[in-house]
């Protein structure tokens, strides 16, 4: 299973209308998604207007898609949201601080029964998890084992949310570099790390207790989750 399939199955199950994607790059995922109100946010879209147009014919749901070429912080701060989103996919800058900011801002504009999906929560190795400032920065460091895939320390946002928030449910689906899935609803705090402890953690800490840190679920759990939403 990959992110596109997971997102689309959630949209279909919920009969969701509105979809927001933070961090879109070349639109590999965004253009394929079928939802009537699609919003794309990225400071540097890696496609021309022509490609947007072509994708209307490949997937008619792109006809009303809206594109905001700006950072997620700027988008959240300067947009008047007239109604909440059903589904939000967060895949922007892969740092702990920015991914957490994106989740907290997204929670404010998520429908009560909405779903947030966060990409890259389960880095496969140390190089992919390096806490760089950006993909370009990570790629310039000659990290041992570097494969060009960068998840950064997004995983720390999962640890934070599971330690601090008692009004959301969080798990990570073990596919496509870890898809964090968040729904609203009361929850018992499942980890008890302080912010200071999370900031000080490194990849070795994650490796020692990955399943517990992330509430990692195998892909077979996904159908069970869909039945609940």
Ligand X SMILES: C[S@@+](CC[C@H](N)C(=O)[O-])C[C@H]1O[C@@H](n2cnc3c(N)ncnc32)[C@H](O)[C@@H]1O
- Which residues lie near ligand X (CB under 6 A)? 3, 21-25, 28-29, 41-44, 71-72, 91-93, 98
Nearest-CB residue for ligand X: 23
Toward ligand X, which CB reaches closer, 45 or 193?
Answer: 45
User: Nearest distance from residue 227's CB to ligand X, in Å?
Assistant: 26
Between 92 and 114, whose beta carbon lies closer to ligand X? 92
Q: In this complex, which beta carbon is closest to ligand X, that of residue 21 or of residue 153?
A: 21
Contact between residue 74 and residue 105 where contact means Cβ atoms under 8 Å apart? no
Q: Residue 105 or residue 169: which is nearer to ligand X going by CB?
A: 105
Looking at the Cβ atoms of 174 and 176, the one nearer to ligand X is 176
Q: Could you tell me the CA-to-CA distances from 145 to 125, 129, 201 in Å, in that order? A: 8, 11, 20
β-strand pairing of 216-217 with 168-173: parallel
Question: What are the tokens at 130?
Answer: 């390096």
Q: How far is the CB of 135 from ligand X (least distance, A)?
A: 7
CB 20 within 8 A of CB 90: no
- Shortest Å, Cβ 59 to ligand X: 14
At residue 3, the 3 state secondary structure works out as helix
Instruction: Quickly tell me which residue has 């702990």 as its tokens.
Output: 96
For ligand X, give the closer residue by CB, 150 or 193. 150
Minimum CB separation from ligand X for residue 3, in Å? 6
Tokens representing 125 are 């190795």
CB 34 within 8 A of CB 14: no
Provide, rounded to whole angstroms, the least separation between the CB of residue 31 and ligand X: 9
Shortest CB 186 distance to ligand X, Å? 30
CA dihedral 43, 4, 13, 114 (to 10 degrees): -30
Nearest-angstrom CA–CA distance, 210 and 159: 10
């Amino acid at each position: 299973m990959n992110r596109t399939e997971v997102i689309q199955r959630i949209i279909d199950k919920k009969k969701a209308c509105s979809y927001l994607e933070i961090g879109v790059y070349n639109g590999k995922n965004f253009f394929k998604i079928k939802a009537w109100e699609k919003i794309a946010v990225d400071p540097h879209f890696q496609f021309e207007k022509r490609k947007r147009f072509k994708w209307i014919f490949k997937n008619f749901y792109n006809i009303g898609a809206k594109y905001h070429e700006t950072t997620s912080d700027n988008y959240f701060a300067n947009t008047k949201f007239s109604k909440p989103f059903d589904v939000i996919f967060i895949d922007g800058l892969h740092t702990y601080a920015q991914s957490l900011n994106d989740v907290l801002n997204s929670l404010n504009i998520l429908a009560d029964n909405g779903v947030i999906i966060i990409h890259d929560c389960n880095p496969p190795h140390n190089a992919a998890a390096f806490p760089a400032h950006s993909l370009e920065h990570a790629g310039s460091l000659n990290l041992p084992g570097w494969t060009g895939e960068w998840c950064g320390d997004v995983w720390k946002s999962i640890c934070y949310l599971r330690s601090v928030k008692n009004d959301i449910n969080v798990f990570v689906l073990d596919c496509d570099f870890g898809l964090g899935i968040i729904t609203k609803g009361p929850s018992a705090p499942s980890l008890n790390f302080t912010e200071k402890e999370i900031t000080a953690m490194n990849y070795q800490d994650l490796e020692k207790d990955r399943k517990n840190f992330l509430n990692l679920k195998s892909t077979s759990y996904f159908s069970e989750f869909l039945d609940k939403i």
